[in-house]
Amino acid sequence: MIGAGPAGLAAAVAAADLGLRCALLDAGPRTGGQYYRHPAPGLGATRPDRLHHGWSVYTGLADRLAAHRRTGRVDLLGGHQVWALERPADTGWAVHATLGPAADERATVRAAAVLLATGAYERQLPFPGWTLPGVVTAGGAQAMLKAGLVLPGRRIVVAGSGPLLLAAASSLVTAGAEVPEVVEATGYLGYARRPDVLAAVPAKLVEGAGHGAALLRHGVRLRRRSAVVEAHGTDRVTAVTVARLDADWRPVPGTERRIACDALAVGHGLLPQIELATELGAATRTTPDGAVALAVDARLRTTLPGLWAAGETCGVGGADLAIAEGELAAHAVAGAPAPTALLRRRARLRAFAELMAAAHRPGPGWTGWLRPDTDVCRCEEVPVARITEAVEELGAGDARTVKLLTRAGMGWCQGRMCGPAVACLSGAGESRADSRPLSCPVPLSQLAAGPPAS
Ligand X SMILES: Cc1cc2nc3c(=O)[nH]c(=O)nc-3n(C[C@H](O)[C@H](O)[C@H](O)COP(=O)(O)OP(=O)(O)OC[C@H]3O[C@@H](n4cnc5c(N)ncnc54)[C@H](O)[C@@H]3O)c2cc1C
Smallest gap from Cβ 313 to ligand X, in A, equals 7
Smallest gap from Cβ 130 to ligand X, in A, equals 17
Sites for ligand X among residues 145-164 (CB under 6 A)? 164
Could you give the string, one character per residue 92-131, with x where binding to ligand X holds by CB under 6 A and - elsewhere? -------------------------xxxxxx---------
Specify the DSSP class assigned to residue 379: T
Residue 22 within binding range of ligand X, rule CB under 6 A? no
Smallest gap from Cβ 143 to ligand X, in A, equals 5
DSSP one-letter string for 313-325: GGS---HHHHHHH
Sites for ligand X among residues 412-431 (CB under 6 A)? none
Residue 3 within binding range of ligand X, rule CB under 6 A? yes
- Name the residue nearer to ligand X (CB basis): 61 or 387: 61
Residue 278 within binding range of ligand X, rule CB under 6 A? no
Q: How many CB atoms are located within 10 Å of the residue 363 CB?
A: 17
E strands, 206-246, are 221-223, 226-233, 237-244
Helix (H) or strand (E) holding 376: strand 375-377
Number of residues that bind ligand X (CB under 6 A): 36
| Given 5, 48, 128, 180, the residue binding ligand X (CB under 6 A) | 5
Q: Among 190, 229, 169, 227, which Cα is nearest to 355's? A: 190
- Name the residue nearer to ligand X (CB basis): 6 or 362: 6
E strands, 205-346, are 221-223, 226-233, 237-244, 257-260, 263-267, 270-272, 284-286, 292-294, 307-309
The interface region with ligand X, picked from 5-13, 287-295, 375-383, 441-449 by CB under 6 A, is: 5-13
Helix (H) or strand (E) holding 85: strand 81-86
- For the chain, the first-to-last Cα distance in angstroms comes to 18
Q: Among 334, 356, 326, 272, which Cα is nearest to 58's? A: 326
Angle at 420 between CA 414 and CA 425, to 5 degrees: 115
Quote the CA–CA distance of 94 and 108 in Å, as a whole number. 6
Sites for ligand X among residues 52-81 (CB under 6 A)? 81
| Given 183, 319, 379, 421, the residue binding ligand X (CB under 6 A) | 319
Residue 315 within binding range of ligand X, rule CB under 6 A? no
The interface region with ligand X, picked from 25-33, 393-401, 410-418, 441-449 by CB under 6 A, is: 25-33
Q: Could you list the residues that contact ligand X (CB under 6 A)?
A: 2-8, 25-28, 33-35, 81-82, 117-122, 139, 142-143, 164, 167, 270, 273, 311-312, 318-319, 322, 439-440
